[in-house]
Structure 1
Amino acid sequence: MKNIRFVGKEHEAFYYNMLDATGNTDVYHRAFFYTMGISKETRDHIRSLFDFEENCIKTQNLTAAWQTGGTIRLCRLAFNLWNGWTEEGKERYSTPYELFDCRFAPYFFEAIRLRYPEYCRNPERPALQLSVKEL
């Protein structure tokens, strides 16, 4: 995918390094590592959030002492984009209303685009003129 919007060079380097480390560039890995790379804190703690040997997320570290309100939102989105995960009994915290209420929101859209590229294309739309009667 071209024209990926990164927070900075560290985010971009992290993203490509993690894809190389896993040897996988499917939409799940791309969206997950993109999201985890947004924040320095989640980049620094990636091994507590992802098991590279088992190739799976570690949801139990959502409540680690280093987590902040923003990094918890990052993790919730990344975990959800990975496999649809929501925290049992706290599903409401995985809604856009809750997740996007932070400084990382502009990059969350990019993560969604990486996870669902087939739905996030900008197809050319033919000019369509409908009369009021047709609506």
Structure 2
Amino acid sequence: MAWQIKFRDVEHEKGFNNFMKKAEVENWDKERTSLFYTLAIFEETRKNINDLYDFKENCIKFKGLTKEWQTGGTAKATKLAFNLFNNFRGEDRESENYSPLEIFSLDTDYRNYMLMAVQIRFS
């Protein structure tokens, strides 16, 4: 990696490291690294990670997008994380909700970290 991962705050970094350790990610698997980086940005997604990822089966949980705790920002981050993980784009009738315009329409602070997740995935 020629660049350094930038974290939003200490909690973002702690959450990311905890997810990586719990999933036993080896060799910085770009798909899981970008997934966990993105899901660790928000406190809500960190607290509810088990609604979004099955650590035993090492797979995402699509139903996590419909949980009551999801907000506009966390839903966008979750959509991005799922898309970076396995190109998940949702149901056909909802595919417009996965466009870059939709996902990156957050305030600037969060957008920068979501763009870092894209960089992690495709570097």
Say yes or no: TM over 0.5: yes
Match of 1:75 in 2: 78
Q: Which runs of 4+ in 1 moved over 6 A?
A: none
* Structure 1 vs Structure 2 CA RMSD: 0.9
Task: Decide which of 100, 107, 113 is 1:107's aligned counterpart.
Answer: 113
Question: 2:83 aligns to what SS in structure 1?
Answer: helix
Question: 2:51 aligns to what SS in structure 1?
Answer: helix
Aligned length: 117
Task: Decide which of 69, 83, 100 is 1:96's aligned counterpart.
Answer: 100
- Residue identity (%): 38
Q: Does the alignment pair 1:36 with 2:39?
A: yes
Distance 2:69 2:14 in 1: 22
Question: 1:87 aligns to what SS in structure 2?
Answer: coil
Q: Where does structure 1 lack aligned partners over 5 or more consecutive residues?
A: 118-135
Measure how far apart 1:21 and its partner are.
1.0
Measure how far apart 1:95 and its partner are.
0.7
Q: Deviations over 1:21-40 (max 9, x none)?
A: 11113001110000000000
Match of 2:122 in 1: 116
Distance 1:100 1:75 in 2: 12
Q: Where does structure 2 lack aligned partners over 5 or more consecutive residues?
A: none
Measure how far apart 1:90 and its partner are.
0.7
Q: Which amino acid aligns with 1:36?
A: L
Q: Deviations over 1:80-113 (max 9, x none)?
A: 0000001112111111110011132111110001
Q: Which amino acid aligns with 2:58?
A: N
Question: 2:46 aligns to what SS in structure 1?
Answer: helix
Distance 1:6 1:13 in 2: 10
